[in-house]
Every structure is written in C-alpha cells, then in structure tokens.
C-alpha cells in the first residue's frame, strides 16, 4: 500500500515539479521609467536551453516575444529615457516567435456567422489609441505575472475597459480558471477582456487581430489546426483544442504556437452557460509596423521573417450579438517548443490514486476476511 502511494507521489513530483529557473522583473535596467512604461522580462533557464520572454505594453499594442537561446545567453535591454532603444543578446537566438494584439474591429454580422464581411459596415481601431495602467504584478522564483487595464482614448469608448492578464508558471498543469488551458515551462497564459464597448450596428460584434511573427522563411505560412482532446475534464462540454503553429513545428519539431480552446465567455463568472464560440479567419501577410516593439526586436531582419495576421472573432448564431452582454473574455497561451499535449490534472491524479489505494485496501481486507472465515469453518468441523 505504501509503495502505491510512494509511486503516485513520485509521479506527481515529476509531473508538477518546476522545470526552469525563473528570473524576472519589470523595466529591467531602466532608471527613467515611470508608470507609463510596462515592460516585463522573464528569463526561463532550463537544463538544455533558455527562453527569454518579453511582455510589452509601453508601445500600446500588447506584445509578447519568446526567444530560444543556449543556456548561458543573456539579454540586455537598452533604454532611451523611458522608451526601449534596443534588445541585445550575447548570442543570436536559435528561434523566436511573437504575437501582438494590434487592432480590434467592430463589424456588422448581418449573416450571423461571426465572419468579418467587408461588404457590410465595419470599423477598425488600432491599439495605438490604448494606454495601459499596471494594476498588479508578481515576480519571484516561481511565477511572473502582470495585470493591466487599458483606457481607449476615444470619446465613443469613454466607458469601455480592456483588461489583460499575462502569467508564466514554470511547470506543467492546467490553469485555475476556465477554459483551464495547459501551461508549461515553455509558455505563458494570456487573458483578455473587452467590456462595455459601444456598438454602432444592430448586429455588431468585435474581433481581435493577432500579428504573428517567427524566424521562419518569409514565404512560408502559419497553420491553424484543430485536434480532439482526451475529454472535457478541463473545459466541460468542449472537446477541441485550436492551435496556430509556426512552420518550424512541421519541420524541426520545435517552433512557436498559440493554443486555445474554441470558447470565450460573455460574463465575468466563467461557466458553461456564459460560454460562446471562438473562430479564427485565414492568415494574411503583413509588414511589421515601423513604430512597434516587433520592429525594434527584429531590427534589420524585419523583412526576412515570417509575419502574418490572424483575425479572432467571438459569438454564435442567435446569441444576441455583442450588445446582449457587452462583455467578451478570451484566454490563450503562447509558447516556444513542442506543443503541450493534454494530460490528467493533479486533482484527477490524486482522485485516481485514492481510488487505487481504496481498491487495494478492499482487496486486502476482503482477502483477509475470506481467509479468516475459512480457518474458522475448518476449526468448527
């Protein structure tokens, strides 16, 4: 019996132990930074390599960059006052992958199919009109996390809020909140909330545009894949996982990815009843914007990397469109390396272990009772 629980405990330690050494902080090396500068740097050192993560909100468009290097490589961020001047590695990264939310789009979904049809009215807004305030942060050896809220500088959006949380946890497990995405030592979790946005059309919906960049061949393309999950333990009623994969994942086996379940939420309390669908349109090619953190990071190589956009929409036919709830909440993860496969959660492992232990006790107890009964029967006769 003790051996059973010992083996289970060992498996839990292996599965949920910390996989990378974390060094993180806000605005590293910046002496002149003020409250308007929000740049988080997370160094994730493993036994064979190091992943450098940059989360930037100071240049308006939320930008997340992951760079894979050798173990001992370091990154130095230089500053021009409170603005980033450059990113300097002690050696060139082996691979990098980045995602930036650069636009949000209001469109009239006349056909109620959650697709942006430019034949119908639509409006495009840049995140350049959004400024960010740091609400919460945590940087220690076990976690890096920031929470920001965005103010949209447009009179139409005076009551609107954009809330965003980014978190890095250096082990493999499912996130606490629905849709309980799997996080690993090679990825970060991102939650974005669009609340009280005004609507201009009777069938108005909002979409988010993701700008994706990777050090793959500029002529190649990202891929969107949907796969079935093991079960709906993590997200009740949802048996699919969507993944945007960089070309390197189809060649070298270790590239960049965005992973999410095709589900969002229309209420602050995430439940099955408040869930809605998430859709991704085809990829379009772009040039990296001149005044962006992505352009700073990739430097002179900006026109030699793969840069595409993915349009993410939310909703379902007959749901009353965005105005019914004035709220959209979506979670996704960004990672570098092999895409994580789903596994049983820690809670499920504990329950199974308890069940196995209980079954073992019943078997031992039943066997002992049967043996005692036989011996008593023998003595009586």
Q: How far apart are CA 144 and CA 157, in angstroms?
A: 31
Instruction: Give the model's pLDDT for residue 237.
Output: 59
> What's the pLDDT tens digit per position in 183-212?
999 999 999 999 999 999 999 999 999 999
Buried b (16+ CB within 10 A) or exposed e, 197-230: bbbebebbbbbbbbbbbbbbeeeeebeeeeeebe
The proportion of the chain whose per-residue pLDDT surpasses 90, expressed as a percent, equals: 78
Q: Give the dihedral sign, CA 164/167/172/174.
A: negative
> Under a CB-based contact definition with an 8 Å cutoff, are residues 168 and 185 in contact?
no
Average pLDDT score over residue span 26-30? 97
Q: Give the pLDDT band (50/70/90) at residue 29.
A: very high
- Range scoring the smallest mean pLDDT among 21-30, 136-145, 203-212, 345-354: 345-354
Judge residue 370's burial from the number of C-beta atoms within 10 Å of its C-beta, 0-12 exposed, 13-18 middle, 19 or more buried: exposed
Q: Which residues contact 141 (CB under 8 A, 6 or more apart)?
A: 21, 22
Domains, the chain, ranges and CATH? 20-343 (2.70.98)
**Quick check: pTM over 0.75?**
yes
Would you report the helix, strand and coil content of the chain in percent, each value rounded to 5?
A: 20, 40, 40
**Structural element, H or E, at residue 328:** strand 327-337
Instruction: Give the model's pLDDT for residue 251.
Output: 73
């Amino acid at each position: 019996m003790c051996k059973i629980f010992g083996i289970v405990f060992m498996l839990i330690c292996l599965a949920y132990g910390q996989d990378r050494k974390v060094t993180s902080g806000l605005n590293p090396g910046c002496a002149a930074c003020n409250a308007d500068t929000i740049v988080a740097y997370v160094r994730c050192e493993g036994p064979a390599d190091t992943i450098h993560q940059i989360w930037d909100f100071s240049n308006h468009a939320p930008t997340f960059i992951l760079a894979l290097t050798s173990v001992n490589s370091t990154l130095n961020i230089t500053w021009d006052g409170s603005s980033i001047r450059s990113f300097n590695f002690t050696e060139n990264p082996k691979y990098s992958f980045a995602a930036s939310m650069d636009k949000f789009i209001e469109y009239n979904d006349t056909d109620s199919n959650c697709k942006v049809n430019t034949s119908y009215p639509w409006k495009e807004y840049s995140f350049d009109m959004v400024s960010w305030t740091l609400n919460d942060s945590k940087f220690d050896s076990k976690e890096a996390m920031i929470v920001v809220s965005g103010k949209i500088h447009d009179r139409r959006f005076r009551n609107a809020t954009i809330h965003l949380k980014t978190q890095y946890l250096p082990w493999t497990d499912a996130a606490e909140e629905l849709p309980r995405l799997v996080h690993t030592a090679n990825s970060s979790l991102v939650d974005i909330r669009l609340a009280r946005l005004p609507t201009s059309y009777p069938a108005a919906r909002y979409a988010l545009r993701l700008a994706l960049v990777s050090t793959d061949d500029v002529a190649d393309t990202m891929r969107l894949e949907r796969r079935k999950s093991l079960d709906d333990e993590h997200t009740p009623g949802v048996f699919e996982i969507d993944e945007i994969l960089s070309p390197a994942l189809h060649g070298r086996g270790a590239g960049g990815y965005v992973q999410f379940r095709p589900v969002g939420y229309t209420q602050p309390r995430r439940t099955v009843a408040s869930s809605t669908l998430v859709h991704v349109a085809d990829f379009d090619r772009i040039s990296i914007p001149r005044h962006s953190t992505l352009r700073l990071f990739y430097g002179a190589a900006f026109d030699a990397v793969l840069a595409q956009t993915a349009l993410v929409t939310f909703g379902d036919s007959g749901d009353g469109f965005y105005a019914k709830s004035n709220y959209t909440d979506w979670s996704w993860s960004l990672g570098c390396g092999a895409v994580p496969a789903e596994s049983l959660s820690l809670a499920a492992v504990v329950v199974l272990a308890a069940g196995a232990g209980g079954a073992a006790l019943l078997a031992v107890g039943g066997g002992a009772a049967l043996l005692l009964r036989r011996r008593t029967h023998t003595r009586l006769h």
